[in-house]
Amino acid sequence: MQRRFRILIPAALAAVCFSAPAQERPYPTKPIRFIVPFAPGGGGDIVARLIGARMTEGMGVQFVVDNRAGASSTVGDTLGARAAPDGYTINLVTTSYAVNPSFYKKLPFHPVDGVTPITLIGTSPLLAVVHPAVPAKTIRELIGHAKAHPGKLNYASTGNGGLVHLYVELFKLMAGVDMAHIPYKGTGPALNELIAGQTQFFLGSNVATLPHVKSGRLRALAVTTAQRSSALPELPTVAEAGVPGFEAVHWFAVLAPPRLQREIVSRLNAEFKRVIAMPDVASGMQQTGLVPMHTSPEALRERIRTEVAKFARIVKEANIRAE
């Protein structure tokens, strides 16, 4: 009996020694899937690939961008939220993530409590622009003109239920004006019709809209952020130009599935902070119209909570229906 006991002890110790290194290997040990809920080539895809390449260098494993477009980003958002909470699937989300709960009543995950926030990575202001034929050079003058001609001004959007639609409806509610909504299938068609004079007002990204402002085809009245834009310091904000409290921001953030270990959340958050601060990454993001940002996971969760409630209020008060 004693002989058998002496033989088993070395065997057990050997098993522990061989298994310990595998258990102690730090996260990550395999490629990380970075879900982008949009088609390749768009702004979200460009930013994800730019950041993902540097995350690969810093974390020592490949960041694999996985484009899963469809249903206003809910296809990719759902895949990200329902993945295994092991740190090997994360997903990019934008402001549309906070809009979707107002139109998709049966999302298979809770947009606030059913995910693990990692960090905000960037924000983008919008430009309030008009066709040059509109006799308004300021937001106050636009409001006065719209009130004098209720329902006669048309505003373009990038689609029914999209961000531009909701943000202009918020502007209408806060300014007390009436403008008719003309939806288009994307920014390009909306801008083309605005330049042609078929519509008179639009909220557009700096990247898409600013070239037309500089050429004189459109007139910029204000920026939609709470503070003036460093790229256009001469333009007032909509809030200071006549609609106090108005703010419209397009943002990008990173989420993970719920119940992700705190240690992994902290590692990802710190690595995104390091990468976003890199000069070449920051410059690349700015070229797409984004201002690089970083937040704590807690701050991002609260932002999402606030945004979901804000868009729900806009949809209800403006009586917007999905089409």
* Structural domains of the chain, ranges and CATH numbers in brackets: 32-123+250-317 (3.40.190.150), 125-223 (3.40.190.10)
Residue 195: how many CB atoms within 10 A of its CB?
17
Beta-sheet strands, E only, within 14-150:
32-36, 63-67, 89-94, 116-130
pLDDT at 24: 61
pTM of the model: 0.84
| CA 55/CA 287 separation, integer angstroms | 19
pLDDT tens digits for 49-91?
999 999 999 999 999 999 999 888 999 999 999 999 999 999 9
Quick one: pLDDT band at residue 205, thresholds 50, 70, 90?
confident
- Phi/psi for 20 (5° steps) reads -60, -45
Do strands 63-67 and 32-36 pair parallel, antiparallel, or not at all (unpaired)?
A: parallel
Write out the two tokens for 214: 């500089």
Name 182's bridge partners. Answer: 156
